[in-house]
């Protein structure tokens, strides 16, 4: 604590990101990065953008990038917002669409699962938005009936993190219809669908639904499926009014959130769909193989549609399993939280990395 901190900063509980070891030597399966490199076209585009033009500010509207995204998803550029990682896009969306308690006595809590991306409660706290965590079922699936009640909106990653479980298209449409009804608060109720991992699922992408559901905002990242966690690019797709809301927040904060190199690289990544289809086909195949192998070894494995597995040793506490893996040079993620403290989230690496991981899991059980 510092006397220089204001009340907001004193009462925050910031998000703690996964460890990024500065020395090599680890098999790094802890932050859901893609184990394969980005498309060579991305590197070329960034190299081309490296030059005297860096003296100039970047395009604040990210015009080329938004046009590429619009084409890829079959929407209009006005229905696309780009930002500095999906974390920033999510932070702006919370600020734009959910009602803070301090300003409105009638503000209803927003809803999201009790087990989900741990940044959501941090954003809610940052913007003073009341929230109610909604318990997942015992098997970590979402019961949509739990969300059809008075609220200020909802947030859901699809597939969910860190469980990897997905919500079906028909369940999502039911929620969108329910949330489209007149809310009791002062603003319409937005459903934020965080699709950070959707590319690793089956037919999960909800962006086409924005044409019929003006209360839907899908949020995307290039950190996972596009193997560009180091570039920090995310985007959102939704109806024009939602996108304008995001622009209003951004332009009250920092007009140039995406630099020239990021815009060039991200545009090339979006345009090179064939390269990424192949990369992510490999990630999915490895995930399915490792999942089956772990089940064979007697571990509990939650069915995953993402680029990670949520697993539990039936013989030991999560922290012990985590420590054992770390001692063997394998870094995974452990969340010391109710209901999931005995689980570990394991990102999918290359086949060689996962074979090494499976070998360690086999020796642990023995």
Residues lying near ligand PMP in the complex (CB under 6 A) are found at 85-87, 117, 157, 161, 194, 196, 221, 223, 229, 234
Decide if 105 contacts 127 (C-beta within 8 A): no
Q: Closer CB to ligand PMP, residue 111 or residue 161?
A: 161
Compute φ and ψ for 290, nearest 5 degrees: -70, -40
Q: Closer CB to ligand PMP, residue 107 or residue 112?
A: 112
Least separation in angstroms between residue 354's CB and ligand PMP is 20
Least separation in angstroms between residue 286's CB and ligand PMP is 19
Least separation in angstroms between residue 302's CB and ligand PMP is 15
Q: For 244-313, give the secondary structure using H, E and C.
A: HHHHHHHCCCCCCCCCHHHHHHHHHHHHCHHHHHHHHHHHHHHHHHHHHHHHHCCCEECCCCCCEEEEEC
Q: Closer CB to ligand PMP, residue 117 or residue 361?
A: 117
Decide if 58 contacts 267 (C-beta within 8 A): no
Decide if 293 contacts 354 (C-beta within 8 A): no
Q: Closer CB to ligand PMP, residue 42 or residue 361?
A: 42
Q: Closer CB to ligand PMP, residue 33 or residue 99?
A: 33
Helix (H) or strand (E) holding 156: strand 154-157
Least separation in angstroms between residue 335's CB and ligand PMP is 12
Least separation in angstroms between residue 262's CB and ligand PMP is 12
Least separation in angstroms between residue 364's CB and ligand PMP is 26
Least separation in angstroms between residue 316's CB and ligand PMP is 26
Q: Closer CB to ligand PMP, residue 152 or residue 157?
A: 157
- Of 277, 256, 266, 307, the closest CA to residue 43 belongs to 266
Least separation in angstroms between residue 211's CB and ligand PMP is 24
Coil, strand, or helix at residue 161? coil
Decide if 147 contacts 124 (C-beta within 8 A): no
Least separation in angstroms between residue 296's CB and ligand PMP is 28
- Of 128, 134, 125, the closest CA to residue 105 belongs to 128
- Of 166, 160, 194, the closest CA to residue 343 belongs to 160
Q: Closer CB to ligand PMP, residue 161 or residue 290?
A: 161
What does DSSP assign to residue 18? P
Compute φ and ψ for 327, nearest 5 degrees: -65, -30
DSSP per-residue string spanning 167-212:
--HHHHHHHHHHHHSPPSSSSPPPEEEE-TTGGGSSS---GGGGGT
Least separation in angstroms between residue 112's CB and ligand PMP is 11
Coil, strand, or helix at residue 322? helix
Q: Closer CB to ligand PMP, residue 45 or residue 156?
A: 156
Q: Closer CB to ligand PMP, residue 38 or residue 183?
A: 38
Question: What size, in residues, is the chain?
Answer: 366
> How far, CA to CA in Å, does 217 sit from each of 9, 61, 67, 108, 352?
29, 19, 18, 19, 37
Q: Closer CB to ligand PMP, residue 79 or residue 218?
A: 218
């Amino acid at each position: 604590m510092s006397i220089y901190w204001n009340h907001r900063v004193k009462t925050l509980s910031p998000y703690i990101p996964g460890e990024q070891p500065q020395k090599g030597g680890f098999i790094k399966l802890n932050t859901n990065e893609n184990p394969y490199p980005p498309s060579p076209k991305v590197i070329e585009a960034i190299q081309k953008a490296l030059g005297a033009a860096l003296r100039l500010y970047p395009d604040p509207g990210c015009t080329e990038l938004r046009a590429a995204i619009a084409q890829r998803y079959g929407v209009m550029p006005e229905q696309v917002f780009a930002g500095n990682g999906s974390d920033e896009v999510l932070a702006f969306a919370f600020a734009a669409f959910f009602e803070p308690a301090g300003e409105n006595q009638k503000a209803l809590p927003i809803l999201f699962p009790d087990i989900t991306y741990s940044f959501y409660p941090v954003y809610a706290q940052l913007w003073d938005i009341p929230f109610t965590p909604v318990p997942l079922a015992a098997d970590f699936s979402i019961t949509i009936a739990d969300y059809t009640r008075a609220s200020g909106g909802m947030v859901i990653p699809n597939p969910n993190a860190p469980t990897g479980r997905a919500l079906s298209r028909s369940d999502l449409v039911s929620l969108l219809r329910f949330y489209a009804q007149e809310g009791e608060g002062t603003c319409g109720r937005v459903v934020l669908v965080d699709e950070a991992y959707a590319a690793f699922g089956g037919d999960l992408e909800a962006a086409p639904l924005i044409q019929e559901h003006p209360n839907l905002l899908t949020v995307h990242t290039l950190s996972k499926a596009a193997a560009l966690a180091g570039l920090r690019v995310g985007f959102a797709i939704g109806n024009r009014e939602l996108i304008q809301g995001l622009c209003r927040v951004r332009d009250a904060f920092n007009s140039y959130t995406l630099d020239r190199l990021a815009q060039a690289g991200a545009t090339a990544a979006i345009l090179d769909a064939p390269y990424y289809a192949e990369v992510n086909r490999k990630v999915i195949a490895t995930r399915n193989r490792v999942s089956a192998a772990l089940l064979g070894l007697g571990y509990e494995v939650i069915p995953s549609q993402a680029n990670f597995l949520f697993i539990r040793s039936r013989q030991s506490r999560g922290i012990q399993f985590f420590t054992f893996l770390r001692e063997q040079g394998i870094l995974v993620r452990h969340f010391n939280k109710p209901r999931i403290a005995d689980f570990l989230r394991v990102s999918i690496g290359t086949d060689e990395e996962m074979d090494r991981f499976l070998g360690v899991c086999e020796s642990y059980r023995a």
